[in-house]
Amino acid sequence: MSAPTRRHGGRAAPEALLTGRTAAVVLAAILTASFMELLDATIVSVAAPAIARDLGAGQAALQWTVAGYTLSVGAGLITGGRLGDLYGRRRVFLLGLAAFMLASAGCGLAPSPETLVGMRVVQGLAGGLMIPQVFGIIRASFEPGARARALGAYGAVLGLASVAGPLLGGLLVEADLFGLGWRAIFWVNVPIAIAALVVGARFMPESRSPGRTRLDLAGAALAAVAATLLLLPLIQGREQGWPWWGFAVLALSVPATALFLLRQRRLAGRGAQPILDPALLRVRAFAGGLSVSVLFFGALGSFFLLLSLYLQLGAGRSALETGLVILPYAVGSIITSGVGVRFAHRAGRAVLVGGALLLAASQAALLLVVGGGEPSSWGLAWPLLVGGLGLGLTAPSLINVVLAGVPARDAGAAGGVLTTVTQIGNALGVAVLGAVFFSRLEGSLRDGASALLAYGDALTAILPWQVACYAAAAALMFLLPKNA
């Protein structure tokens, strides 16, 4: 790979790749920022009951604190990578990091649920700007051997964030640092971001794409509008008694999606750069991968939020106890994530199918455990551990296996779309399964059930749907290539 270039009086001059201490410092900065963004995707779940008590947040607001973040991350990813290619990856990374820090402070200061949700959306957009630059900086600024180690370190950070999210969330809420309570989960980002900004500004080199890049901002806006039109009535409609406008808004998501696809077809026909090349939808592996991603991450997206509500508001566990109960899931993921990546090049599809079926089995086992009354921490630990083992086999390798069936010239664009769809699937799962959970909860409470029975009934209502999603994802995985 050619070295990144710097402009000198109209000439492109090669720029030395990072080595030694400078490379280590830059890698630490970008991995720290990545850890922070990944952490904020999960840390809120454990803090959700405390947020509800303090701000008077309703069920829809709690769903939006999770779904709004993941949806806006997906929206930011659509254009974030191309902005870095066009204006410089270092510049866009630092801009996204600064915006993420300010939005985190805004979350920590939020006086109302509406402000918190708004700041979470800004936080997600900032994360969507920041994260694509991590891969671009690693590719452009590190030597080949160091590049492989850096990408491996990113995978380790992904696993560590999954462990740290629920546990750190529980610790911070329980510790009530400086009287901040749940707000500490956001304020902790500020000093971390400041340190990463200082290091990035001092040591990080600039790099751009050698080719010309055009932004499809109108297409990105249409995609975001279509997704919002789909999610808004699913989250807000139940809380407001399913009003007529909810069905009207839901119907509008169809023409919005059609307009997005029409625009992408026209751009591709002119030889421009669409966000989603419609020709990719005719590639079996890619079309199958999109369906798998929606089902898989849709089942996963709402699980920790709803499990945390059951454990705290139903079973009466503290935030820290909830984090410790969820810990086996994260540990299982770390155990198998390396195995999944290692065998993806030889038996990637089989590994993915096995992981999805393990997740289906774990949710079925959890259904039996929760349905039998209040389970002990040890009773919950083993199905959660099995679920984590399945997640580690599937999540780290899914995109690579899908891309193995995509023409090499389209791999970059296809990877960006797949990553975005995983975020949309996550948000969709929060909306749909959250609606099922809260509808069953309200019905049980109206019938006079205790908090434990009502929340247990609500959790058992979503688990069969999660089993079905994972099983359907496993079946669709046979459309993917056999290996990566």
Residue 30 half-sphere exposure, CB side, CA atoms within 13 Å?
Answer: 31
CA–CA dist 102, 191 (Å, integer): 11
Q: Which residue in 407, 306, 283 sits closest to 363, CA to CA?
A: 306
pLDDT category of residue 123 using cuts at 50, 70 and 90 = very high
Task: Calculate what percentage of the chain has a pLDDT beyond 90.
Answer: 43
Question: Do you know the residue count of the chain?
Answer: 484
Q: Which DSSP string do the residues of 209-238 spell out, in sequence order?
A: -SS-----HHHHHHHHHHHHHHHHHHHHHH
3-state SS, one letter per residue, for 388-409: HHHHHHHCCCHHHHHHCCCCHH
Q: What pLDDT, on the 0 to 100 scale, is given for residue 465?
A: 96
Residue 165 or residue 480, greater confidence = 480
pLDDT over threshold 70, residue 73: yes
pLDDT over threshold 70, residue 156: no
pLDDT category of residue 258 using cuts at 50, 70 and 90 = very high
Read off the pLDDT of each residue in 291-319 and give the average, rounded to a whole number: 92
What's the pTM value of the predicted model, to 2 decimals? Answer: 0.86
Q: What pLDDT, on the 0 to 100 scale, is given for residue 405?
A: 86
Q: What pLDDT, on the 0 to 100 scale, is given for residue 16?
A: 58
Domains of the chain, by residue range, sit at: 15-211, 217-274, 277-484
Task: Calculate what percentage of the chain has a pLDDT beyond 70.
Answer: 93
Q: What pLDDT, on the 0 to 100 scale, is given for residue 415?
A: 76
Q: What pLDDT, on the 0 to 100 scale, is given for residue 187?
A: 95
Q: What pLDDT, on the 0 to 100 scale, is given for residue 8?
A: 43
Read off the pLDDT of each residue in 455-463 and give the average, rounded to a whole number: 95
CATH level 3 topology of 277-484: Growth Hormone; Chain: A; (1.20.1250)
Q: Which residue in 103, 468, 174, 144 sits closest to 318, CA to CA?
A: 174
Helix, strand counts (H, E) of the chain: 16, 2
Q: What pLDDT, on the 0 to 100 scale, is given for residue 13?
A: 39
Q: What DSSP state is assigned to residue 448? A: T
Read off the pLDDT of each residue in 225-250 and give the average, rounded to a whole number: 86
Instruction: Name the architecture of domain 15-211.
Output: Up-down Bundle (1.20)
Q: What pLDDT, on the 0 to 100 scale, is given for residue 144?
A: 74
Q: What pLDDT, on the 0 to 100 scale, is given for residue 39?
A: 86
CA–CA dist 173, 308 (Å, integer): 13
pLDDT over threshold 90, residue 75: no
Q: For residue range 90-106, list pLDDT tens digits in order.
A: 999 999 999 999 999 99
pLDDT over threshold 50, residue 7: no
Is the CA virtual torsion 451, 454, 455, 456 positive or negative?
A: positive
Q: What pLDDT, on the 0 to 100 scale, is given for residue 451?
A: 92
Burial of 198 per CB tally in 10 Å (0-12, 13-18, 19+): exposed
H or E element in which residue 6 lies: strand 5-8
Greatest mean pLDDT range, 43-47, 336-340, 475-479: 475-479
CA–CA dist 351, 18 (Å, integer): 35
Is it true that 15-211 and 277-484 share their CATH fold? yes
Is the CA virtual torsion 94, 95, 101, 104 positive or negative?
A: negative
CA–CA dist 452, 458 (Å, integer): 10
Q: What pLDDT, on the 0 to 100 scale, is given for residue 126?
A: 94
